[in-house]
Amino acid sequence: MSSPRSIAIVGAGLGGLVCARVLQLHNITVDVYEKEPSPASRQQGGSLDMHSKLGLKALQMSQLMDQFKKIARPEDQDMKIMGKDGTVYFESPNLLPEERGEDRPEADRTQLRQILLESLKPGTVKWNHGISNIIHEGGRATLHFLDSGRSPVVYDFIIGADGAWSRVRTTLSPAAPEYTGVCFIDIFVHDVRKKHPELVDFVKRGMAMALGDNKGIAPQRNANDVVRIYVIFRKPLEWLDEVGLKRLVDEERYSEASELMLEEFTGWCPEVTNFLKVPCASMTVRPLYSLDRHKWPTHPNTTLIGDAGHVMVPFSGEGANLAMIDGAEAGLTIAKHLSAENATWLEAFKSFEAAMLRRAWASSKGALENMDKFISDGNSAERASITMKKLLTVATA
């Protein structure tokens, strides 16, 4: 192929935006299509710990480390694990420096996304452009939009970065994420220093987890005086509807939802359960899905990155990190082969996808294993603390 390929990214999450940034650093034109109407249209999730060989490496490749340092919270890496009776089994501030593992500074997902958005040329992201279908024909890919008033657009290559329920994935593979049996209720509490100092004292500089009997309560420190409280249940997906929890959350009847959840924690330490009585700004139901060991035939016009290619549970801290390094490496692969002949191009993406999936499969396996230890029968807090110590031993080796 003598002329450079035209490139589009579907999805303006972290992976898609990193990919766009790397492409623009190489003076490659790219359009990003996002179904959300604006950057602030929904909650983007909580705090992320950036790993040196994944998310931090992607930020270095994106030349955004200076901007990242302005929002990073290296002090918010503490972890505490306790049982339902309040017994503390693990507390990272009590560890010696050599026992702590690699430095993994925290950053809020929303702030990280904003840094990436501001790094792109104006107009790169097309908001309110949800994709309904992609047609491959004549060696090119045509994007059709949910809004039938928008004309289809044609590109030589599409990067699917559109998350767990990717529309791009459906053109390459029939696979769909499967429910893992575990669900989070994400509770957003702000002005915590003034209104809820006891919550700040409990969480300290990071996350505290109370675990047992296939459930848990896990408050996490975020930026801007926010704590997110994750209430975790191992339950069938239908349970959310059967007990009315999903309906209460959807109708923003948060105090009633909290009362319902409190019934599930009868007999637990009041130091922990009292946090479910704290007034909140919002709640979100987040069932955990996995798309384990997914792969697809390499396609000359389309690839997948992040959750579009490999959905995983958040029990390794690597999902967003993987999406970011996927995006950076996809952008670099395009930059190196933009005008290559088709056979060379296809071989380059075959190598890229193989490396990406090997990395993702290993991380997903570990995350699922961790989830099954943390959210399990009986005294799972003790098992979780043993797992955490082993993970730190590996990280310091």
Kindly state the helix (H) or strand (E) to which residue 335 belongs, with its residue range.
helix 319-337
State how far the Cα of 279 lies from the Cα of 264, in Å rounded to an integer: 19
- The gap from C-alpha 254 to its chain's centroid, in whole angstroms, comes to 24
Cα 320 versus chain centre, distance: 4
pLDDT at residue 359 in the model: 96
Which pLDDT tens digit goes with each residue over 159-198?
999 999 999 999 999 999 999 999 999 999 999 989 988 8
Question: What distance in Å separates the CA atoms of residue 356 and residue 363, rounded to the nearest whole number?
Answer: 11
When pLDDT is averaged across residues 385-395 and rounded to a whole number, the result is: 74
The string of pLDDT tens digits covering residues 239-270 is 999 999 999 999 999 999 999 999 999 999 99
The confidence score (pLDDT) of residue 397 equals: 46
| pLDDT at site 396 | 47
Q: Average pLDDT, stretch 279-298?
A: 95
* DSSP-derived 3-state class of residue 252: coil
Q: Give, to the nearest 10 degrees, the angle between helix 319-337 and helix 342-374.
A: 170
Mean pLDDT of the 40-66 span: 88
- The pLDDT of 296-315, averaged and rounded, is 96
Choose the weakest-confidence range: 171-180, 311-320, 372-381: 311-320
Predicted local distance difference test score (pLDDT) of residue 62:
98
pLDDT given at position 167: 97
Chain segment 138-158, per-residue pLDDT in tens? 999 999 999 999 999 999 999
Question: For residues 218 and 208, is the Cβ–Cβ distance under 8 A?
Answer: yes
pLDDT in tens, 70-123: 988 876 678 899 999 999 999 875 544 444 445 678 888 899 999 999 999 999
How high does pLDDT run on average in the chain?
92
Percentage of the chain surpassing pLDDT 70? 93
Q: What is the mean pLDDT of residues 32-52?
A: 85
Q: Is the pLDDT of residue 216 over 70?
A: yes
Contacts (Cβ under 8 Å, ≥6 apart) of 345: 1, 5, 300, 337
Residue with tokens 């031993």: 393
Q: Report the alpha-carbon distance of residue 343 to residue 245 in Å, rounded.
A: 53
pLDDT at residue 3 is higher than 70: no
Q: What is the pLDDT of residue 394?
A: 54
Compute the distance between CA of residue 113 and CA of residue 72 in angstroms, rounded to an integer. 13
Neighbouring CB atoms inside 10 A of 151's CB total 8
Residue 141, beta-bridge partner list: 136, 155
